[in-house]
Structure 1
Amino acid sequence: MIVLKNITLRRGTKVVLQDASVTLQPGEKVGLIGRNGAGKSSLFSLLAQRLQSDAGDVSIPPRWRMAEVAQSMPETDQPATDFVLEGDTRLMEANAALAAAEAADDGNAMAEAHQAIAEAGGFEARPKAQALLMGLGFRIDQVDDPVNSFSGGWRMRLQLARALMCPADLMLLDEPTNHLDLDALVWLEAWLQRYEGTMIVISHDREFLDAITKVTVHLDEARLTRYTGNYTAFEEMRAERLVQAQANYAKQQERMAHLQKFIDRFKAKASKAKQAQSRVKALARMEKLGPVLTSSDFQFEFREPVSLPNPMLAFSMMTCGYDGVPIVHDINRSVLAGQRIGILGANGQGKSTLVKTIAKDIPLISGEVTEGKGLSIGYFAQQELDVLQLDDGPLMHMVRLARDVGPPGREQELRDFLGSFRFVGDMVTQSVGSLSGGEKARLVLAMLVWQRPNLLLMDEPTNHLDLTTREALSMALNEFEGTVMLVSHDRALLREVCDEFWLVSGGEVKPFDGDLDDYQKWLLETSREMAKAAREAGSAKVKAQKAAASAGKDDRKASAQQRQKAADQAKPLKTELAQVERRIETLSQEKANIEAAAAGAGVSPAQRVEQGKRLKQIDVDTAAAESRWLELTEALDALSPP
């Protein structure tokens, strides 16, 4: 087990931990949460022995193998698969032992090294590494491309795959979802649910934490508090504690009254029904968790727009892309006042391209965009933090914004406004380059709010926000009276804000008929279809290679011996492959039976709950079985004689 006892840890003059204690049992999956700057990453460094505590004791089993995602950007021409393979430290040690034994011409050592390689899964390692890469969104034709050929976000995915490759007893994951889209995120959740070791994860994605953790450790005020349960359970338990200690949260009540007023006003209007329902969900959440949100020292709201043109935008045969190359084309849609649109789609399909075109960051390739009179766009881009002037302070940014964009404001008014975003005192003149990622994101939000837009285009706005700031953003967007178009992998934000979804896929933008759960089911179904196609292609490839191997051989005896050796090695793999195929078929049939039973009459609520739980487990088991199928077919493919 991991035991931290009376730990004190300082970073410079800041006390990160003060007399903190916590115990974690083997195999527990732990969410480490706390505000930006609380010291979560410092605690990881302490566990990884990069830092030493100033007082207290840290106890970790000495033989435990540890894995974590390196935060540095890899710079190498190594093929992607080889880079990921190096994450398997046990296999790398066995390979190094074999090289040393061969150099010393030590037969016994070579035999032991070969045995170690077999025990480390050396024969299955390459297919396993490639399965990890494809699960994280890489195409099969990319798995051997040089690491340096990928962009920064994809190289961070390579670092994640390298960490997952390690046969670790303890895995430390610091914001593993930041560079993932929903497709890869859903796959990662399923993988981590199957992981059997001890895991500690830092994440600001509440649904991700809920899916994979059973214990929550809260780092707050230099103390560690352990809660049994996932993030939602922690939130509810903490809310109960705060209710006992805090009787008055008037401002929260005012916000709830504001939402209730909107619901009462519009719930009977068909044109506003979806928006009213969105506010109902937000109100229910505020009633349940109001004390938690009130405990945060950061809340904000978007100002009432000057006007609400309707429609705000109309697209006619719009085609978007870069340098004249289309990515999404022939878009014919309208954006109406008050809509809450979530934009879904895998990385590279064109979500950001669409948003950038609407924001006029990149030119339209063809077609027309008609803007409503008085349209005012507020745009939060993925790279918005990079365009801040790093040498200037928040106040200088606001002065420029008020002067060049508007609305105008006096310096004291701008200072007061920044104060509402937690920029107080000397912070208003502190260089932006010295601010944390979360503080920079808050400054961008402040600049967005100041402009009083009626259409918000938000492309991954939560990447640098902690959980409390994400909650504040969710509430602010729900109260916003204008239109929201949102690209995000934060499913909690999408659920709480969006009433409808657009799917960007295959070069088209279409309405998605369903909610976020339906989208995740669609992703799983698409993944299964791809796996099926890969199985069929793999089988055809194996047959073709066997046919080619059996033709044109001069030395038939050598060929026969080679085939016999391959057949002996392939026999246990084929046996397991047949078992996996039967397992997939059984799971598929069980799922069909449950779905048929659920559609029938006379199913009690308790039975429906159990059916839902079993269907979710079947999806997880099927994904695992299909992943193993791919590994086995790759291994069999490798054994086919040339």
Structure 2
Amino acid sequence: MIRIQHLSLMRGTKPLFEDADLTLNPGERIGLIGANGAGKSTLFALLRSELHADGGDVDFPSAWRVAHVAQETPALERSALDYAIDGDATLRRLQVELEEAEAHPDHAAQGHRIGELHAALADADAYTVRSRAETLLTGLGFSQQQMNRPVSSFSGGWRMRLNLAQALMCPSDLLLLDEPTNHLDLDAILWLEDWLKRYPGTLVVISHDRDFLDGVVNVIVHIDDRKLKRYSGNYSSFERQRAAQMVLTQAMIEKQTRERAHLQSFIDRFKAKATKARQAQSRMKALARMEETAPLRAAAEFSFEFREPASAPNPLLVLEAVNAGYRVEDEATGASTERTIVKHINFSLQTGQRIGLLGVNGAGKSTLIKTIATELDPLSGVARFGKGLVIGYFAQHQVEMLRHDESPLWHLAKLAPDVREQDLRNFLGSFNFPGEMATSSIAPFSGGEKARLALALIVWQRPNLLLLDEPTNHLDLETREALTDALAQFDGTLVLVSHDRHLLRATTDTFLIVADGKLMPFDGDLDDYRDWLFKTRLSPAKETQAAATANAAPSAPQVDRREQKRIEAEERQRLSTLKKPIESRIKKLEERMGKLQARKAEIDAKLAEPAIYESANKDELKTLIAEQGACGRELEEVEMAWLEQQEALEQIA
């Protein structure tokens, strides 16, 4: 059990926690949320004993093994596979001790010790460690070839995946994950979600991906107003509970405001009259004692909208027999060679289409987007673009392409040199870059603020075609919601690559998939895509099957595609049959929870009225108090039943 009591902590002059309390039970999967700067990463540092509280206690069993993702990756010549295995420090220590014992000059005298070490290595699953590490790395998007490459050869995002693999390899009782999906594609996120559902220890995860939180956690801890507030259920459940709390609190504030006004009115009228002086004094004391109900603070809402496109050519673009890829120049000879990623693309974009682009990591999604955005020329074929086409392109590394030594105003003025500065400032203000922030260097800005600026620059250009390649990297939940709403109302055409399933569901209506070097329609939704991934890319036998295929004779018969589709359809039907009754029970429980929460809010509101405590209402008061207790007990029972059904649903693979 993790128990936090009376926690207080300052960072500089800013108080992050004041008298905060929290209890977390073993085996719970907790989503830690809160505004940027609220203290999420600081709480992780406390749990890792890297920081110490100014006051209060943070306790959990001293025997617990804690795993977390390192933020730095040394540029080692060690292979990716060995680096992942290094996450199991106990196993590595035992291996070193065994090597030393076996190398000892008096080998016979070490016999007993060598036997003990072999037994300890067996207990640590040393003889399956390579296959377990390969499974982890495969799920995180590494090919067999990449696993044998040195760590130093990988870019920053891939090194973070290696650090995540190390954390998952580490046997642990408490696993701390800070934004684990930031450097992952959708296929790797789906695999990680599946892995975490089966993790037996206590998990605490910080994430801005609501679908990921909904799929993984069963408790939400919200850092709000320097306190730690616990909510049962996943993120969607938290949103419903918090909304109900805000409605109830607002009603209580309004009633308290009326009561305070009534007391103040009495004081103002009678404090100067001798006959009423004592009563006035009594009411002044009552007013002073009355603890003001603090409003539940929702995060300041941020919203924006894409401006209506100035024109709408139709079609916007046509690609005929296009091969998309790269031209690579040999430094020694100067000769240029072509590397084709996606072949024979026949594709047209019509005004108003909203396309989600799917495909595993490395399949060629970004290459296709860059070709459409004219960042890459087609290697062959014809690309025709409609007259008046205005492309708004957000690349995966858009934030890094900004000038970090310049200000938001400078970036916008580069796009609109003839526009008045005040108009530019007004526009930036609508994206939360007010006053001095608009003229300050963006170097100290957070990743989310820089991403917001990149979006603002796209919005200014009034595109009729949006090409967005992982636009939610670095964005917090609030800004993701603002982007989702803006894209849902966008009048132009959209092509979106994203690992955020909520964004894909809410803003696209057609899916295309890049697979096996081709662009094809995907007939299904994101649940179908998940099933396809686990059957074709993420199954445990994937690597074995791939090797067998590679070694087979060229004439070896291939699996009939129609038979494969029939098997997949049957499997989907089987899962649907198993899930349907559970989903039906969950729906009924959620409806019952909603009714109970609404009734409890009504009772609480009535009990907050002063008139109910008058003697004439004695019977009604008794009834309300009894009903409040019964309602609370039933609500707790329904919530527990809901959690049990959710767990049952998760068990269905």
Fold match (TM-score > 0.5): yes
Q: CA deviation at 1:510?
A: 1.2
Aligned to 2:98: 98
CA displacement, residues 531-571 of structure 1 (integer Å, 9 cap, x when unaligned): 26726967999xxxxxxxxxxxxxxxxxxxxxxxxxxxxxx
Provide the identity percentage: 52
Do structure 1's residue 223 and structure 2's residue 227 form an aligned pair?
A: yes
**Corresponding pairs, count:** 526
Flag the 1:367–1:245 CA change in 2: closer, same or farther, 3 A. farther
Flag the 1:361–1:234 CA change in 2: closer, same or farther, 3 A. same
Q: CA deviation at 1:604?
A: 12
Separation in structure 1 between the aligned mates of residue 202 and residue 495 of structure 2, nearest angstrom: 39
Flag the 1:46–1:619 CA change in 2: closer, same or farther, 3 A. closer
CA displacement, residues 302-335 of structure 1 (integer Å, 9 cap, x when unaligned): 1111122221111111221111321112211111
CA displacement, residues 225-262 of structure 1 (integer Å, 9 cap, x when unaligned): 11111111111111222233459xxxxxxxxxxxxxxx
Flag the 1:368–1:37 CA change in 2: closer, same or farther, 3 A. farther
What are the residue-to-residue correspondences of 1:501-540 with 2, within 5 Å? 501-527=511-537, 531=541, 534=544
Question: Would you say the 8 A contact 2:582–2:649 is kept in 1?
Answer: no
Q: CA deviation at 1:163?
A: 0.6
What are the residue-to-residue correspondences of 1:30-69 with 2, within 5 Å? 30-69=30-69
Do structure 1's residue 302 and structure 2's residue 316 form an aligned pair?
A: no
Separation in structure 2 between the aligned mates of residue 343 and residue 87 of structure 1, nearest angstrom: 34
Aligned to 1:595: 573
Flag the 1:200–1:147 CA change in 2: closer, same or farther, 3 A. same
Separation in structure 1 between the aligned mates of residue 515 and residue 152 of structure 2, nearest angstrom: 27
What are the residue-to-residue correspondences of 1:581-592 with 2, within 5 Å? none
Separation in structure 2 between the aligned mates of residue 411 and residue 372 of structure 1, nearest angstrom: 33
Residue of 396, 399, 402 corresponding to 2:416: 402
For the residue of structure 2 that corresponds to 1:333, the secondary structure is strand
Separation in structure 1 between the aligned mates of residue 180 and residue 6 of structure 2, nearest angstrom: 29
Q: CA deviation at 1:113?
A: 2.5
Separation in structure 1 between the aligned mates of residue 568 and residue 460 of structure 2, nearest angstrom: 55
Residue of 461, 469, 486 corresponding to 1:476: 486
Question: Would you say the 8 A contact 1:591–1:618 is kept in 2?
Answer: no
Do structure 1's residue 239 and structure 2's residue 253 form an aligned pair?
A: no
Separation in structure 2 between the aligned mates of residue 516 and residue 166 of structure 1, nearest angstrom: 31
Q: CA deviation at 1:92?
A: 2.2
Separation in structure 1 between the aligned mates of residue 513 and residue 13 of structure 2, nearest angstrom: 49
What are the residue-to-residue correspondences of 1:287-366 with 2, within 5 Å? 295-323=299-327, 324-366=338-380
| TM-score (norm: length of structure 2) | 0.75
CA displacement, residues 466-509 of structure 1 (integer Å, 9 cap, x when unaligned): 11110010000011111111000101100010000111111111
Question: Would you say the 8 A contact 1:293–1:472 is kept in 2?
Answer: no
Flag the 1:592–1:609 CA change in 2: closer, same or farther, 3 A. farther
CA displacement, residues 366-402 of structure 1 (integer Å, 9 cap, x when unaligned): 2222222211111111111111111111111111121
Aligned to 2:446: 436
Flag the 1:497–1:246 CA change in 2: closer, same or farther, 3 A. farther
Q: CA deviation at 1:609?
A: 4.6
Q: CA deviation at 1:589?
A: 11
Aligned to 1:559: none
The letter for the 1-side match of 2:518 is: E
Flag the 1:232–1:149 CA change in 2: closer, same or farther, 3 A. same
Question: Would you say the 8 A contact 1:594–1:611 is kept in 2?
Answer: no
Query: Which is higher, the Rg of structure 1 or of structure 2?
Result: 2
Question: Would you say the 8 A contact 1:6–1:21 is kept in 2?
Answer: yes
Question: Would you say the 8 A contact 2:579–2:652 is kept in 1?
Answer: no
The letter for the 2-side match of 1:172 is: L
Separation in structure 1 between the aligned mates of residue 569 and residue 172 of structure 2, nearest angstrom: 33
Flag the 1:22–1:302 CA change in 2: closer, same or farther, 3 A. same
Aligned to 2:477: 467
Separation in structure 2 between the aligned mates of residue 436 and residue 414 of structure 1, nearest angstrom: 22
Separation in structure 2 between the aligned mates of residue 457 and residue 532 of structure 1, nearest angstrom: 32
For the residue of structure 2 that corresponds to 1:76, the secondary structure is coil
Flag the 1:126–1:216 CA change in 2: closer, same or farther, 3 A. same
Question: Would you say the 8 A contact 2:324–2:341 is kept in 1?
Answer: yes
For the residue of structure 1 that corresponds to 2:367, the secondary structure is helix
Aligned to 2:435: 425
Separation in structure 1 between the aligned mates of residue 231 and residue 377 of structure 2, nearest angstrom: 51
Q: CA deviation at 1:5?
A: 1.3
Aligned to 2:72: 72
The letter for the 2-side match of 1:133 is: L
Question: Would you say the 8 A contact 2:575–2:652 is kept in 1?
Answer: no
Do structure 1's residue 121 and structure 2's residue 125 form an aligned pair?
A: yes
Q: RMSD between aligned alpha carbons? A: 3.2
Flag the 1:128–1:394 CA change in 2: closer, same or farther, 3 A. same
The letter for the 2-side match of 1:65 is: R
CA displacement, residues 392-427 of structure 1 (integer Å, 9 cap, x when unaligned): 111111111212xxxx42111111111111112221
Do structure 1's residue 20 and structure 2's residue 24 form an aligned pair?
A: no
| TM-score (norm: length of structure 1) | 0.76
For the residue of structure 2 that corresponds to 1:368, the secondary structure is strand
Separation in structure 2 between the aligned mates of residue 55 and residue 158 of structure 1, nearest angstrom: 36
Aligned to 1:453: 463
For the residue of structure 1 that corresponds to 2:426, the secondary structure is helix
For the residue of structure 2 that corresponds to 1:434, the secondary structure is coil
For the residue of structure 2 that corresponds to 1:504, the secondary structure is strand
Q: CA deviation at 1:109?
A: 3.5
Q: CA deviation at 1:47?
A: 0.9
Separation in structure 1 between the aligned mates of residue 55 and residue 539 of structure 2, nearest angstrom: 55
Do structure 1's residue 392 and structure 2's residue 370 form an aligned pair?
A: no
Q: CA deviation at 1:179?
A: 1.7
The letter for the 1-side match of 2:425 is: R
Aligned to 1:283: none
The letter for the 2-side match of 1:53 is: A
Flag the 1:25–1:445 CA change in 2: closer, same or farther, 3 A. same
The letter for the 1-side match of 2:203 is: M
Q: CA deviation at 1:107?
A: 4.4
The letter for the 1-side match of 2:79 is: P
For the residue of structure 2 that corresponds to 1:386, the secondary structure is helix
Question: Would you say the 8 A contact 2:325–2:379 is kept in 1?
Answer: yes
Do structure 1's residue 374 and structure 2's residue 388 form an aligned pair?
A: yes
Flag the 1:49–1:619 CA change in 2: closer, same or farther, 3 A. closer
The letter for the 1-side match of 2:36 is: N
Question: Would you say the 8 A contact 1:28–1:197 is kept in 2?
Answer: yes
Question: Would you say the 8 A contact 1:36–1:438 is kept in 2?
Answer: no
The letter for the 1-side match of 2:46 is: L
Flag the 1:434–1:596 CA change in 2: closer, same or farther, 3 A. closer
Structure 1 window deviating more from structure 2 (492-501 vs 417-426): it is 417-426
The letter for the 2-side match of 1:75 is: A
Flag the 1:103–1:611 CA change in 2: closer, same or farther, 3 A. same
Separation in structure 2 between the aligned mates of residue 319 and residue 442 of structure 1, nearest angstrom: 33
